[in-house]
Amino acid sequence: MSTVSVLMTTYAKEKAAYLAQSLESIFGQTRPPEQMVLVIDGPVGDDQLAVIEGFRCDPRVKRFDVLQLAKQGGLAEALNAGIPHCTGDFIARMDSDDISVPERLELQLAEFERDPSLAAVGSWSEEFQEDGKRVIKICPVKHDMIVGALRWRNVLVHPSMTFRAEAFRNVGGYSARFGKMEDYDLFVRLAQSGARFRCVPKVLVHARWGIDLCERRGGLDYLVHEIKFRSDLYRRGFLSFWQYVITTCLYSAFRLTSAQSRRLAYAMVRR
């Protein structure tokens, strides 16, 4: 029987209550993982440590490995630190403030069983805010449509992804070369390696979302990383010349506009 490791990170600014909800959503799966790997990215408060300690002896998951990093290094570094500790045939990503529906892993593993050529399976997600607003993010279902869409924007939801561990490791894990676009970069490298994708056309993850997220995804620093990333995709042959020109121009304007405008733009590409 295939085994699954769930890989999650947390850091000082995470709320303990969110971490508890996220862990519970994994431990309460209809098909629980064999292993939970949690990387603590730098020092965190006692409230988070208490939550983590409360799950250490939870019998629903056979093995709970906690890796403490001395200082915060960012998401890519924390995830790469956790990958060698994942022992499962599959590695499922999860964020410390999101919530997986109970049947997430069961449905994703069923896709791998139906099609052994698949290397990565994601899903639709529901983005929610504390004020009750909810937006569903959909993405293409089949491999060719997913890869085609990736040439224009990142259509995959990182914390919804479950990867075949071998394919995941073959591309070297995550890179921090392009700032906060480590997930987009990973998906492109997987696609170029020949890995096949699929998306379950159901909401399997509820993702917290707010105006602060839009603020973090803009500004000059993000723009510089965006241009470097698009240029790299063109050099690698993932983008045609005109795809490179069009996407670079569009995203340059997007990164420099106001957070409110970015929020509206995100809403336009979601249902």
Per-residue pLDDT, averaged over 265-269, amounts to: 54
Nearest Cα residue to 180 out of 148, 153, 218, 211 = 218
pLDDT value, residue 134: 85
Burial of 240 (C-beta count, 10 Å sphere; 0-12/13-18/19+): exposed
Per-residue pLDDT, averaged over 17-45, amounts to: 98
pLDDT value, residue 155: 95
pLDDT value, residue 259: 56
pLDDT value, residue 220: 72
- pLDDT category of residue 250 using cuts at 50, 70 and 90: confident
- pLDDT category of residue 267 using cuts at 50, 70 and 90: low
Q: What is the pLDDT of residues 191-211, one digit of tens each?
A: 999 999 999 999 999 998 754
Q: What is the pLDDT of residues 46-94, one digit of tens each?
A: 999 999 999 998 999 999 999 999 999 999 999 999 999 999 999 999 9
pLDDT value, residue 219: 64
Whether residue 216 has pLDDT greater than 90: no
Q: What is the pLDDT of residues 33-54, one digit of tens each?
A: 999 999 999 999 999 999 999 9
Looking at residue 269, its amino acid is V
Per-residue pLDDT, averaged over 121-129, amounts to: 93
pLDDT value, residue 153: 93
148-154: which pairs have CB atoms within 8 A and are 24 or more residues apart? 150/184, 150/187, 150/188, 150/191, 151/233, 151/238, 151/239, 151/243, 151/247, 152/243, 152/247, 153/247, 153/269, 154/181, 154/183, 154/184, 154/187
Tell me what percent of the residues of the chain surpass a pLDDT of 70. 89
- Helix pair 220-235, 241-256: axis angle to 10 deg: 170
The helix/strand/coil state of 176 is coil
pLDDT value, residue 212: 53
pLDDT value, residue 135: 86
pLDDT value, residue 263: 59
Per-residue pLDDT, averaged over 132-154, amounts to: 93
Per-residue pLDDT, averaged over 103-122, amounts to: 98
pLDDT value, residue 260: 59
Whether residue 266 has pLDDT greater than 60: no
Distance CA 82, CA 169 (A): 12
**The Cα angle at residue 115 between residues 109 and 118, in degrees rounded to 5:** 80
Nearest Cα residue to 156 out of 147, 166, 144, 167 = 147
**The Cα angle at residue 104 between residues 68 and 130, in degrees rounded to 5:** 70
Per-residue pLDDT, averaged over 249-261, amounts to: 70
* pTM exceeds 0.75, yes or no: yes
Per-residue pLDDT, averaged over 117-144, amounts to: 91
Whether residue 233 has pLDDT greater than 90: yes
Distance CA 75, CA 46 (A): 21
How high is the mean pLDDT of the chain? 91
